[in-house]
């Protein structure tokens, strides 16, 4: 008798079971696969009950993560393969080609060729990105920004895969899928896109005290940069450098933008998302096309091996930074982006970065987040780029020849000659040959490992609040106000009150005033006895509520490097200036001011009631760049209104022009006008501020300039624009301190 197919037998059994049930209890075949995890224990995909989902298996609590950790590998493998074909995170990005030039040889610290040879010009490809959103999301989300650099060195590719913030949310890679699941759109309704202001994210964060420091960065102005060209980059992890003598030191990598570190206002960011969601992408492309090449200096924080435990925090903890007051950042070279991609998909979309792409002279540490990344990146490229040959895509190829015994696979492009693809071999004299370390062969740093296999976190990782406090205390008053407003906005979107209250307890551990002001904005009070999360980042032999005993006491109360207040403010290069004008404009004043701005490197655009041309008072025709229909103040850094009776009258009669000025003032931008155009300001809500300005006086400190002399006006305007913003204009926070 012919046996029934197993699938048919299963379906028959299901149908029989269904038939025996009352009509109202019958379940569809689809519903039988629905998983409800409430009141269930955690298991692997193969049903093994999980004892610890918080820590990866390591050789000692500060040791390397072990490959045998099948729970870690299953969890991250599944996570890496959840989406196709866009990246799981960092899906929304922009890229550019460039070069890196070294200032001075770093041979004292590393044998890496590109950090030794000052004559070399190392090609690079850089990809900037948001983290949480899809490819179609906005550039201006409140988010971390990826800052990934691929160095095409003479010893192979080195990928410095970092962010615009020096720390991260979690300490162990096993928590990365949880973090991203929490911040991504909620799975029941796929809402919200590219936003952390929702319940699942803050539920997770409020239960993970190790995220406290990163949350301070994410809620700060660093999360809404003015452009990719005006943000810092960090390698995040502590790496090792190794010199030719085999001596090692620890290092943190930094990128310092020569244009300074600047942001936009949150209200402005939301408006830009509607007006031009490609704002950062367009800005980078246009700057390079115009020859205003973005530049960053590479900085190194070097820590001798003997100083590993000197600072009271653990160098292997990715939620910690090294304050620059303790270890200065030495600027060792400059990166210049000078060429846009020829094809976005072929280059920017297919570029594959990996923390594990290193060269001799650079090596890893046992940072448990880094250790997990060493597995994750290759794994995710396999599915995203279709197989093991993603290294053969032109944008990923090294600039030196590749020879090994790897063969075949999807999309193989190399045509390997000969019959050997193994080693050792006698048919080809053992070619390709292994290389001695003295001839440039890569060897891992010899680190002693002698520890028990454990799922645990080193107690040196348990201080979650000291550096969060340091960051908050380092901010200026406007920066603190923005951070508090950001928390009020984000937590105000959270529907579950218990999550808000739990988060207030976390904030109270950072700063009581911070927690009080956020609580006031939420209409809540700070819990007297905060609910502390019970997870394994808290020592098992300690009191979970006694975080105070775990905090590092330091004489460093603030760090100037953590504030954006003292960044570069000495130029207006690439700043976009809107000139509001119409027919009859004062051509002499317009020409003088525009020439000065452009000579200083700014970009000017004429914004008029309609497209086409405007005619000056001397009958000169000037092309209009945008009308008020397509232009918006949020897309510009400053605004100038030239004189001319007819032009001024037309601008005054245009509601969008008045809104343009009001919004520019609200977002704290520099605004200038010829004295003969001052009456326009009578129709703005900031008219009283302008009325105090006399003919030959510029309120440069206020960012409002009115002058009858176009030469003086232009000089004063340049100084004001260089200050970036005038945050003092913002209203005082009328809440308890």
Cis peptide before 85 (omega within 30 of 0): yes
Per DSSP, the three-state class of 216 is helix
Which residues, including other chains, have CB under 8 Å from residue 525's CB and lie 6 or more apart? 519
User: Residue 221, exposed/middle/buried by CB under 10 A (0-12, 13-18, 19+)?
Assistant: buried
The span from the CA of 649 to the CA of 633, in Å, is 20
Please give the structure tokens belonging to residue 569.
Answer: 């403010």
Phi, psi torsion values for 455, nearest 5 degrees: -105, 95
Q: What is the number of other CB atoms lying within 10 angstroms of the CB of residue 254?
A: 22
Q: What is the number of other CB atoms lying within 10 angstroms of the CB of residue 54?
A: 18
Cβ(133)–Cβ(92) below 8 Å: yes
Per DSSP, the three-state class of 148 is strand
- Report how far apart the first and last C-alpha atoms of the chain are (Å, whole number): 84
Q: From the candidates 55, 116, 163, 485, which is the catalytic residue? A: 163
Q: What is the number of other CB atoms lying within 10 angstroms of the CB of residue 485?
A: 19
Active site residue 425: no
Q: Element (H or E) spanning 339, and its range? A: strand 330-339
Active site residue 163: yes
The span from the CA of 430 to the CA of 427, in Å, is 7
Q: What angle do CA 59, 62, 66 make, to 5 degrees?
A: 30
User: Residue 524, exposed/middle/buried by CB under 10 A (0-12, 13-18, 19+)?
Assistant: middle
Tell me which long-range contacts 515-520 makes (C-beta under 8 A, separation of at least 24): 516/735, 516/736, 516/737, 517/484, 517/733, 517/735, 517/736, 517/737, 518/484, 518/487, 518/488, 518/491, 520/735, 520/736
Please give the structure tokens belonging to residue 71.
Answer: 């729970």
For the residues of 155-196, what is the DSSP string, one character each?
TEEEEEEEESSSS-S-SSGGGHHHHHHHHSPBTTTTB-TT--
Q: What angle do CA 107, 109, 111 make, to 5 degrees?
A: 50
Residues belonging to the chain: 737
Nearest-CA neighbor of 277 among 198, 188, 193?
A: 193
Q: Element (H or E) spanning 151, and its range? A: strand 145-153
Q: From the candidates 90, 97, 357, 724, which is the catalytic residue? A: 90
- Name the CA radius of gyration of the chain, rounded: 29
Cβ(337)–Cβ(418) below 8 Å: no
Cβ(141)–Cβ(277) below 8 Å: no
The span from the CA of 381 to the CA of 350, in Å, is 9
Phi, psi torsion values for 109, nearest 5 degrees: -110, -30
Residue 634 C-alpha from the chain's centroid: 21
Q: How many helices (H) and strands (E) does the chain have?
A: 17, 21
**Residue recorded with tokens 């999980």:** 50
Phi, psi torsion values for 95, nearest 5 degrees: -135, 165
For 171-294, where are the E strands, in sequence order? 233-234, 239-242, 248-257
Cβ(243)–Cβ(116) below 8 Å: no
Q: What is the number of other CB atoms lying within 10 angstroms of the CB of residue 446?
A: 8
Nearest-CA neighbor of 294 among 253, 344, 256, 259?
A: 259
Enzyme catalytic residues:
90, 163
């Amino acid at each position: 008798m012919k046996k029934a197919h197993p699938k048919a037998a299963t379906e028959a059994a299901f149908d029989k079971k269904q038939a025996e049930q009352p009509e109202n209890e019958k379940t569809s075949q689809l519903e039988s696969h629905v998983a409800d995890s409430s009141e269930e224990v955690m298991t692997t995909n193969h049903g093994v009950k999980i004892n610890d989902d918080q820590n990866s298996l390591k050789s000692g609590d500060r040791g390397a993560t072990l490959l045998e950790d099948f729970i870690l590998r299953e969890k991250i493998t599944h996570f890496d393969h959840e989406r196709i074909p866009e990246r799981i995170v960092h899906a929304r990005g922009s890229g550019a080609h460039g070069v890196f030039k070294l200032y001075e040889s770093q041979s004292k610290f590393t044998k890496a060729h590109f950090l030794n040879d000052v004559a070399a010009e190392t090609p690079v490809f850089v990809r900037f990105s948001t983290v949480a959103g899809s490819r179609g999301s906005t550039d201006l989300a409140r988010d971390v920004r990826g800052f990934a650099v691929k160095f095409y060195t003479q010893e192979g590719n080195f990928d410095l895969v970092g962010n615009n913030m020096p720390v991260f949310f979690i300490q162990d890679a096993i928590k990365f899928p949880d973090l991203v699941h929490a911040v991504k759109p909620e799975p029941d309704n796929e809402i919200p896109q590219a936003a952390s202001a929702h319940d699942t994210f803050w539920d997770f964060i409020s239960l993970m005290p190790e995220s406290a420091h990163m949350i301070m960065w994410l809620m700060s102005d660093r999360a809404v940069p003015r452009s990719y060209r005006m943000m810092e980059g960090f390698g995040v992890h502590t790496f090792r450098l190794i010199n030719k003598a085999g001596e090692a030191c620890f290092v943190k990598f930094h990128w310092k933008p020569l244009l300074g570190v600047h942001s936009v206002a949150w209200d402005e960011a939301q408006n830009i998302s509607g007006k031009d969601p490609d704002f950062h992408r367009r800005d980078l492309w246009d700057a390079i096309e115009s020859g205003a090449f973005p530049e960053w200096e590479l900085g190194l924080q070097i820590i001798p091996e003997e100083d590993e435990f000197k600072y009271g925090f653990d160098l292997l903890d990715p939620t910690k930074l090294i304050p620059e007051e303790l270890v200065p950042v030495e600027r060792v070279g400059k990166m210049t982006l000078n060429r846009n991609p020829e094809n976005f998909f072929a280059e920017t979309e297919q570029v594959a970065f990996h923390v594990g792409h290193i060269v001799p002279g650079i090596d890893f540490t046992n940072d448990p987040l880094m250790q997990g990344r060493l597995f994750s990146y290759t794994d995710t490229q396999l599915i995203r780029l279709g197989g093991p040959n993603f290294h053969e895509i032109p944008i990923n190829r090294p600039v030196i020849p590749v020879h090994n015994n790897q063969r075949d696979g999807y999309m193989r492009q190399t045509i390997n000659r000969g019959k050997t693809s193994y080693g050792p071999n006698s048919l080809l004299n053992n070619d390709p040959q292994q290389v001695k370390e003295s001839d440039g062969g890569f060897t891992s740093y010899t680190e002693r490992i002698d520890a028990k296999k454990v799922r645990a976190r080193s107690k040196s990782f348990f201080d979650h609040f000291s550096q969060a406090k340091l960051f908050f205390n380092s901010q200026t008053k406007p920066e603190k106000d923005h951070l508090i407003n950001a928390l009020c906005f984000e937590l105000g979107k959270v529907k579950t009150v218990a999550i808000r209250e739990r988060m207030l307890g976390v904030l109270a551990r950072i700063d009581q005033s911070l927690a009080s002001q956020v609580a006031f904005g939420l209409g809540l009070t700070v819990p007297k006895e905060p609910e502390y999360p019970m997870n394994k980042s808290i020592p098992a032999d300690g009191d979970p509520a006694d975080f105070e005993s775990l905090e590092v006491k330091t004489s460093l109360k603030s760090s100037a490097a953590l504030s954006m207040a003292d960044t570069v403010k000495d130029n207006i290069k690439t700043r976009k200036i809107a000139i509001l004008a119409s027919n009859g404009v004062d051509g002499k004043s317009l020409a003088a001011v525009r020439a000065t701005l452009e000579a200083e490197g700014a970009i000017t655009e004429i914004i008029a009631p309609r497209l086409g041309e405007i005619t000056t008072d001397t009958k000169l025709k000037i092309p209009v760049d945008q009308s008020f229909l397509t232009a918006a103040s949020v897309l510009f850094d400053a605004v100038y209104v030239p004189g001319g009776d007819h032009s001024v009258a037309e601008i005054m009669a245009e509601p969008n022009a008045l809104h343009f000025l009001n919004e520019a003032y609200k977002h704290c931008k520099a605004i200038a006008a010829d004295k003969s155009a001052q009456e326009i300001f009578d129709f703005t809500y900031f008219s009283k501020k302008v009325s105090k300005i006399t003919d030959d006086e510029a309120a440069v400190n206020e960012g409002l300039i009115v002058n009858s002399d176009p030469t003086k006006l232009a000089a004063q305007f340049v100084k004001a624009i260089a200050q970036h913003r005038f945050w003092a204009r913002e209203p005082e926070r009328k809440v308890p301190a």
